Amino acid sequence: MRRRDFLRNSLPAAAVLPAVVDGYSIKAFAADSPLLQALMNPTTETDHVLVIVQLSGGNDGLNMVIPVSNYSGYYSARSNVAIAESKILKLEGYDKTGLHPAMTGLQRMYNDGKLNIVQAVGYPTPNFSHFRATDIWMSGSASDEVVSTGWAGRYLNTEYPNYPEGYPNETMPDPLAIQIGSITSLALQGPAMNMAMGITNPTSFYNLINNVVDPAPDNPMGYELTYIRTIAKQTNKFAERIIAAAGKVPQQAAYPQDNYLADQLKIVARLIKGGLKTRIYMVGMGGFDTHSSQAESSDTSIGTHANLLKTLSDAIKAFTDDCQFLGVQDRVMGLTFSEFGRRIKSNSSMGTDHGAAAPMFIFGKQAIPGVTGNNPSIPTGASVQDNIPFQYDFRSVYATILEKWFCVPASTIETVLFRNFQSLNIVSDATCKGTPVNDPNQTAGEQLVTNYPNPFTTTTTIQYKTQGGHTLVQIIDMLGRVIKTLVDADLRTTGTFTVTFDSGALPAGVYYARLQNEAKQQVRPMLKVR
């Protein structure tokens, strides 16, 4: 490997700037997110901002967003950690689902029309390793594909193949994304280089900002030194912009004390109001790997998980209020994600183990308020191996943000995400195509997929409704894996159709039929008996 190639691939994807805002070091991300690229696209004029909140460790979605309509099944599966029905926070106008009692801030946001809850988000064949699952979410790849690039880096390579040469410039003087805290992201790795700059000491910093460059020797080592200095100089120009933006905002709304996530989001709001053109911010918190002592035995509404959810809820509510106070609420959209959820059944240690699908929150003034999708099905007598099957692919959420928030063309989205993922009705913005329908609870009452007989012994007929367009019918097992695809076609007609599922030698147990038809996606439990 040539030295220059080594430097391109080994320099960190973010450089710690010689700037500290409110006590937090800030990392400048290059334009590597397709999300990031969406902002950088010179053909798209947008001032929209996306804030990504990562919940590291695998958040227990069932205790965060509680299936009130099937409370008996929920309680039966996890009685030692289940939230008492009387303590579940109610959602205005939607009585099938509730929130953990620690999340009063997000409850108010839902009731104020600033929160969308996307149920059961995951992907086929889930991986239960923290590291690999995080890579899947960050790369936007399938679980059986090992991709060395980030979905953001791929988008950057398409739009700005010569980066970092020529940046910053008049069109984009700011970092394309900013990371605050300790999150790291594979999304920043491009095909040819790791898009990042680093400043390691005060002397280098002041030399760079004063445009002082020591002569480099005329040899291969000198060429590489010049390259490193170019990267460092770029980073410091970003640092100057960040310092200036932060200095323009002398007053903000109140934030909770001793809240690590709120401290990060406060900086984000300040930089947005300060005028940075940055379009992607990443913040996060850890601690969600709750294998034991997730809740207190005397009161399951308090404990480790409750504290985490309160931190999350209070921080997002304060940030949203601050965006309104600063007058930038129309421009800001946020989402939360964790690398996986937890199992349906709790363990004997007052905890939950690594699972599959879990809910995501889409928050902000331009989020379509409501619950997208149905409560997850909980089988009678759930075992410790049973998982929540995914209803929505996480890449559909990404595709929606790209299409409806950043106005990225469909062909570019498909290139970035490798496949065609349907948009969801979670973002309301008429400046982009794909204006959503009025009903965010699109599948809450209508039965789009059924089967008969149910239970069945060997075969069952699956009936599904489609509005035409891309239609997908999959069979998922209790581990959350897609084991068979029955329909995968672009249909020209609207109507009700049937397909036969022959279970063959599959063991008896619960299976799921998953229908995906454009934005509408639904899961149907089926029982195979001997």
Q: In this predicted structure, what is the pLDDT of residue 231? A: 58
Q: In this predicted structure, what is the pLDDT of residue 203? A: 32
Give the distance, in angstroms, between the CA of residue 10 and the centroid of all CA atoms in the same chain. Answer: 26
- Nearest Cα residue to 80 out of 310, 345, 305: 345
Do 242 and 377 lie in one domain? The reply is yes
Do 163 and 140 lie in one domain? The reply is yes
Q: In this predicted structure, what is the pLDDT of residue 232? A: 56
Helix (H, G, I), strand (E, B), or coil: what is residue 489? strand
Structure token pair of residue 444: 């809450």
414: confidence class by pLDDT, cuts 50, 70, 90: confident
Do 469 and 422 lie in one domain? The reply is no
Whether omega for the bond prior to residue 191 falls within 30 degrees of 0, making it cis, is: no
Q: Which of 445, 468, 494 is the last residue of a domain?
A: 445
Do 396 and 480 lie in one domain? The reply is no
Do 288 and 411 lie in one domain? The reply is yes
Q: Is 154 left (phi over 0), alpha (psi -120 to 50) or beta?
A: alpha
Kindly report the average pLDDT of the chain as a whole number. Answer: 82
Number of domains in the chain: 2
- Nearest Cα residue to 443 out of 517, 520, 369, 519: 520
Helix (H, G, I), strand (E, B), or coil: what is residue 9? helix
Do 468 and 358 lie in one domain? The reply is no
Do 460 and 367 lie in one domain? The reply is no
327: confidence class by pLDDT, cuts 50, 70, 90: very high
Most confident of 24-33, 168-177, 217-226: 168-177
Whether omega for the bond prior to residue 453 falls within 30 degrees of 0, making it cis, is: yes
Whether omega for the bond prior to residue 175 falls within 30 degrees of 0, making it cis, is: no
Residue 210 predicted with pLDDT over 70: no
Query: What does DSSP assign to residue 329?
Result: G
Sequence-distant (6+) residues with CB within 8 A of 89 are 98, 99, 100, 101, 103, 104, 107
pLDDT tens readout for residues 453-484: 999 999 999 999 999 988 999 999 988 899 99
Question: What own/partner pairs with CB < 8 Å and gap ≥ 24 does 16-21 have?
Answer: 16/198, 16/199, 17/199, 17/235, 17/236, 17/238, 17/239, 17/242, 18/199, 18/202, 18/205, 18/236, 18/239, 19/239, 19/242, 19/243, 21/242, 21/243, 21/246, 21/267, 21/270, 21/271
Paired with 451 in beta bridges are: 462
Quick one: CA dihedral 520, 375, 364, 111, positive or negative? positive
Do 309 and 292 lie in one domain? The reply is yes
Do 279 and 292 lie in one domain? The reply is yes
Q: Which of 385, 410, 445 is the last residue of a domain?
A: 445
CA dist 147 → 131, 339, 417 (Å) = 13, 17, 11
Q: What are phi and psi of 487, to 5 degrees?
A: -140, 130
Q: In this predicted structure, what is the pLDDT of residue 27? A: 55
Q: Which of 417, 445, 473 is the last residue of a domain?
A: 445
pLDDT tens readout for residues 84-114: 999 999 999 999 999 999 999 999 999 999 9
Give the residue numbers spanning the domain of 521.
446-530
Paired with 459 in beta bridges are: 502
Name residue, tokens 């999350």: 312
Do 377 and 474 lie in one domain? The reply is no
pTM for the complete prediction? 0.83
